[in-house]
Amino acid sequence: MAAELPALTAVVSRLPDPKVNLAAYGGVVFPLALIIESPVIMLLAASTALTTDRESYRRLYRIMMTAGLGLTVLHALVAFTPLFDAVVGGVMRAPPDTIPGARLGLAIMLPWTWAIAHRRFHQGLLIRSGRARAVGLGTVLRIATVLSILAICLRSGRLPGVAVACLGVIGGVLVELVFVAAVSRSAVAELGPRRTADPPLTSRGFLGFYLPLVLTSLLSLLALPIVAAALGRMPRALDSLAAWPAVDGILFILQSGGVALNEVVLALLGRRGAHRTLKRFTVLLTMVLGSAGLLLASSPLGGIWFAEVLGLRSELVPLARLGLWISVPVITLTPWISWFQGRLLHARRTRGVTEATVINLLLTGSLLGTGIRLKWDPGLAIGAAAMTIGTIAQVFWLARRCRLLTPDR
Q: What is the DSSP letter of 8?
A: H
pLDDT value for 1: 55
pLDDT value for 407: 57
pLDDT value for 409: 45
Ranges of residues in the chain with a pLDDT under 70 are: 1-3, 195-203, 205, 217, 220, 406-409
113-145 pLDDT, tens per residue? 999 999 988 988 888 787 878 888 998 999 999
Give buried/exposed letters for 85-100 (b at 16+ CB in 10 A, else e): eebbeeebebbeebbe
212-232 pLDDT, tens per residue? 777 776 776 777 777 877 887
pLDDT value for 200: 67
| CA gap 108, 345 in Å, rounded | 35
Give pTM, 2 decimals: 0.69
